[in-house]
C-alpha cells in the first residue's frame, strides 16, 4: 500500500486554454485504478464527467471563466482497485454509555494502491476517505509543475471523501461533483464554510467540543477575513453590501436558540443576498450572505458573494482580450509643406515628404480612419496619397481664419493598408495642381491612423 503498488503513467492536458504560466491549472489524479482501468479509459471518463459538472456550475459556466482554466489528468495506476476499507469495530469502553461503533459497515477489505487510500481514515468514521497527501504533492510537482489546485478521485462508489484544508479526496459516489465544487471553494478561493456545526446541530454526532463552545461566535475575535462570512450587521459596512437589495432586512435572519443549529425556513426567496445568522461552524453572531449556498450545503449553487470571489480570482487568469482596434502615430510634429519657410510654424519640410509607418496586426480588409490636424490648407489639389492610392476626399481645405487649426477625419478604404511599410505621401501643389508657381503653404500635425485588427 505504497508507491510500490503502482506507477505514474502519464499526465494529460484534458482542457487546454493556454500556457499554464498564465492559466489556472486544475489537476485531477487517479487513485485505486488499475492499469487496465486506466488504459480502458475509466479514469478519463470520470474526469470528463467531473469537468463537465464543474463547467456547468455557476460561475464556471461563463465562457470568460472557462478561458481561464486548464484541466490536467494524471493517470496513476494502482496494483488493485478501490481503497482500504477497515472492518467495523464495536466497543463499549464505558459500560454505562452506549456502544461505540467505529468504521461502521466497513467492508474489511484492503487494496494495494499508489496513494494508500483508506476509508475510516481516523479509525472512527468510515466516510473519512484519505490518501497520502505528501505522495500526491510529489507526483503533481513532478508532472504538472505549474499546477494551482489538485484533487484525487478514488475508484470506489462507496461514499466518502475528505477536504477542508489539504488535497481534496473524492470517491465516485453520487455527490462527487458537488463535493468537488465545495472543496474548490476552499482550495482555490479561500471561501469559508458557511454551515453551523457540532453540539446542538442535527448532524453533529461527534464531541469535538464541549457544549456551548460553538454557540456564539466570539465577536472579540474580529471580522473573518474570508469574503463570505461576516460579523458586521451595519448594512452600510457589510462587505457584500453592494449585493443586498434595499428591501432586504439586515440581518435577514437570526437564530432564536443559539444552543442549536437554526432550523427556520428561509423568509426570503432562494438566492436573496442578505445577512443570515449562523456560519463558519457557529450557531449565532456570524453571518452568511445567502440562506443556503454551496459553501453551506454542497448540493446548492454558489451564492452571488462566492461567485464574485471566484470571478475576482479567476479574472487574473483570463486571457487578455486583444483590442479589436489599434492605432499608429505617423507623426506628432508640425510639418510645414510649401516654399515659404518663414510663413508658418513648424518644421519646414519643403514641397513634399513621405511618411513610412507600420500597422501591426491590421486587418487590411477593413476600413481605417486617418486623423490629423491641419493649418492653412488653401489648395484642393495638394497630393495626399496612401500607398499610392488617393485618400478619399484628399486633404481638405481649412478655414482661412488666421491661426485656425482644423481637425480632419479621413476614411481609408479596405485594401489600402498593409502590416508593414505603409507610405503616406504629402505634396504641396498650386491651386491648379501644378508643381511650379505659387504652391500652397500649409502645416500638418498629429497624423494618427486607427485601424481594425484581425
Partner 1 sequence: MTDDTSGPGRPRPAVRLICTADGDGVRVVSRRRLTKVVPPSEPLEDPESGTAEQWSGFWLEVRDERERVRYRRVVADPLSGEVEVPGGDGSFTRRASARASATFALLVPDLPDADHVSLVRGGAAPTAPDAAFALAESTGEVARLPLHEEAPAGNADPQEGP
Nearer to partner 1, 21 or 402 (CB): 21
Q: Specify the stretch interacting with partner 1 by CB under 8 A; choose among 42-50, 211-219, 366-374, 384-392.
A: 211-219
The residue within the footprint of partner 1, chosen from 321, 342, 388, 400 (CB under 8 A), is 321
Separation of alpha carbons 388 and 401, rounded Å: 32
Q: Does 281 bind partner 1 (CB under 8 A)?
A: yes
Q: Considering the complex, what minimum distance in angstroms separates the CB of residue 199 from partner 1?
A: 12
Separation of alpha carbons 82 and 118, rounded Å: 9
Residues near 241 by Cβ (< 8 Å), separated by ≥ 6?
Answer: 235
Phi–psi pair at 278, nearest 5 degrees: 105, 115
Q: Considering the complex, what minimum distance in angstroms separates the CB of residue 236 from partner 1?
A: 18
Q: Does 128 bind partner 1 (CB under 8 A)?
A: yes
Q: Specify the stretch interacting with partner 1 by CB under 8 A; choose among 5-13, 18-26, 328-336, 432-440.
A: 18-26
Site for partner 1 (CB under 8 A): how many residues? 79
Nearer to partner 1, 294 or 429 (CB): 294
> 8-11 contacts: CB < 8 A, separation 24 or more?
8/74, 8/75, 8/76, 8/77, 8/114, 8/139, 8/142, 8/143, 9/35, 9/38, 9/75, 9/76, 9/77, 10/74, 10/75, 11/72, 11/73, 11/74, 11/75, 11/143, 11/144
Peptide bond into 251 cis (omega under 30): yes
The residue within the footprint of partner 1, chosen from 173, 430, 438, 446 (CB under 8 A), is 173
**Which residues in 214-273 contact partner 1 (CB under 8 A)?**
214, 218, 221-227
Q: Considering the complex, what minimum distance in angstroms separates the CB of residue 271 from partner 1?
A: 16
3-state secondary structure (DSSP) of residue 102 = strand
Q: Does 155 bind partner 1 (CB under 8 A)?
A: no
Tell me the sheet residues that pair with 6: 78
Q: Does 322 bind partner 1 (CB under 8 A)?
A: yes
Nearer to partner 1, 360 or 415 (CB): 360
Cell of 328: 499608429
Nearer to partner 1, 315 or 389 (CB): 315
Tell me the sheet residues that pair with 421: none
Q: Specify the stretch interacting with partner 1 by CB under 8 A; choose among 52-60, 86-94, 98-106, 291-299.
A: 291-299
Residue 426 · residue 382 · CB < 8 Å? yes
**Which residues in 41-80 contact partner 1 (CB under 8 A)?**
67
**Which residues in 363-382 contact partner 1 (CB under 8 A)?**
none
Other beta carbons within 10 angstroms of residue 259's beta carbon come to 14
The residue within the footprint of partner 1, chosen from 15, 24, 77, 416 (CB under 8 A), is 24
Q: Does 91 bind partner 1 (CB under 8 A)?
A: no
* Crossing angle (nearest 10°) for helices 176-189 and 42-56: 70
Q: Considering the complex, what minimum distance in angstroms separates the CB of residue 223 from partner 1?
A: 6
Q: Does 291 bind partner 1 (CB under 8 A)?
A: no
Q: Specify the stretch interacting with partner 1 by CB under 8 A; choose among 71-79, 130-138, 419-427, 438-446.
A: 130-138
Q: Does 289 bind partner 1 (CB under 8 A)?
A: no
The residue within the footprint of partner 1, chosen from 87, 212, 267, 319 (CB under 8 A), is 319
Q: Specify the stretch interacting with partner 1 by CB under 8 A; choose among 85-93, 106-114, 176-184, 247-255.
A: 176-184
Q: Does 320 bind partner 1 (CB under 8 A)?
A: yes
Separation of alpha carbons 217 and 254, rounded Å: 13
Nearer to partner 1, 218 or 437 (CB): 218
**Which residues in 178-207 contact partner 1 (CB under 8 A)?**
178-179, 182, 186-188, 190, 192-193, 195, 197-198, 203, 205-206
User: Any idea how long the chain is?
Assistant: 454
Q: Does 301 bind partner 1 (CB under 8 A)?
A: no
Q: Does 419 bind partner 1 (CB under 8 A)?
A: no
Q: Closest Cα partner for 182 from 172, 174, 173, 170?
A: 170
Residues near 441 by Cβ (< 8 Å), separated by ≥ 6?
Answer: 336, 337, 338, 339, 340, 343, 344, 376, 428
The residue within the footprint of partner 1, chosen from 297, 356, 365, 434 (CB under 8 A), is 297
| 422-427 and 24-31 beta bridge pairing | unpaired
Q: Does 93 bind partner 1 (CB under 8 A)?
A: no
Q: Specify the stretch interacting with partner 1 by CB under 8 A; choose among 101-109, 295-303, 341-349, 424-432.
A: 295-303
Q: How far is CA 210 from the centre of its chain?
A: 41
Residue with cell 500607398: 387
Amino acid at each position: 500500500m505504497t508507491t510500490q503498488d503502482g506507477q505514474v503513467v502519464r499526465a494529460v492536458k484534458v482542457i487546454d486554454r493556454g500556457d499554464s504560466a498564465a492559466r489556472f491549472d486544475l489537476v485531477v489524479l487517479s487513485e485505486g485504478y488499475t492499469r487496465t482501468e486506466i488504459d480502458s479509459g475509466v479514469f478519463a471518463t470520470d474526469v470528463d464527467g467531473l469537468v463537465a459538472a464543474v463547467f456547468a456550475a455557476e460561475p464556471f459556466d461563463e465562457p470568460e471563466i472557462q478561458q481561464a482554466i486548464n484541466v490536467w489528468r494524471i493517470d496513476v495506476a494502482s496494483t488493485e482497485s478501490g481503497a482500504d476499507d477497515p472492518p467495523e469495530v464495536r466497543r463499549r469502553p464505558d459500560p454505562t454509555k452506549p456502544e461505540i461503533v467505529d468504521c461502521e459497515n466497513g467492508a474489511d477489505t484492503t487494496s494495494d494502491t499508489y496513494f494508500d487510500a483508506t476509508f475510516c481514515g481516523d479509525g472512527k468514521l468510515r466516510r473519512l476517505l484519505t490518501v497520502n497527501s505528501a505522495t500526491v504533492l510529489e507526483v503533481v510537482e513532478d508532472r504538472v509543475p505549474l499546477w494551482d489546485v489538485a484533487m484525487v478521485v478514488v475508484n470506489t462508489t462507496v461514499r466518502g471523501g475528505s477536504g477542508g484544508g489539504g488535497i481534496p479526496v473524492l470517491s465516485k459516489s453520487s455527490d462527487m461533483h458537488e463535493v468537488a465544487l465545495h472543496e474548490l471553494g476552499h482550495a482555490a478561493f479561500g471561501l469559508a464554510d458557511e454551515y453551523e456545526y457540532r453540539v446542538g446541530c442535527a448532524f453533529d454526532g461527534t464531541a469535538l467540543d464541549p457544549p456551548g463552545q460553538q454557540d456564539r461566535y466570539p465577536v472579540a475575535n474580529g471580522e473573518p477575513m474570508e469574503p463570505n462570512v461576516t460579523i458586521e450587521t451595519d448594512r452600510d459596512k457589510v462587505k457584500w453590501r453592494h449585493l443586498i437589495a434595499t428591501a432586504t432586512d439586515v440581518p435577514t435572519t437570526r437564530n432564536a436558540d443559539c444552543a442549536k443549529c437554526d432550523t427556520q425556513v428561509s423568509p426570503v426567496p432562494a438566492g436573496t443576498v442578505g445577512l443570515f445568522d449562523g456560519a463558519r461552524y457557529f450557531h449565532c453572531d456570524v453571518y452568511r450572505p445567502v440562506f443556503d449556498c454551496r459553501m453551506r450545503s454542497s448540493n446548492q449553487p454558489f451564492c452571488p458573494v462566492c461567485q464574485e470571489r471566484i470571478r475576482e480570482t479567476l479574472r487574473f487568469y483570463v486571457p487578455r482580450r486583444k483590442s479589436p482596434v489599434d492605432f499608429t502615430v505617423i507623426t506628432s510634429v508640425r510639418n510645414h509643406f510649401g516654399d515659404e519657410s518663414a510663413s508658418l510654424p513648424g518644421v519646414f519640410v519643403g514641397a513634399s515628404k513621405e511618411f513610412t509607418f507600420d500597422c501591426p496586426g491590421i486587418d487590411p480588409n477593413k476600413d481605417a480612419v486617418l486623423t490629423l490636424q491641419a493649418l492653412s490648407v488653401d489648395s484642393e489639389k495638394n497630393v495626399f496619397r496612401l500607398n499610392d492610392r488617393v485618400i478619399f476626399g484628399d486633404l481638405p481645405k481649412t478655414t482661412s481664419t488666421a491661426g485656425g487649426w482644423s481637425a480632419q477625419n479621413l476614411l481609408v478604404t479596405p485594401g489600402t493598408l498593409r502590416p508593414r511599410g505603409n507610405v503616406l505621401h504629402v505634396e504641396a501643389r498650386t491651386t491648379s495642381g501644378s508643381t511650379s508657381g505659387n504652391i500652397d503653404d500649409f502645416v500638418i500635425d498629429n497624423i494618427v491612423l486607427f485601424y481594425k485588427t484581425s
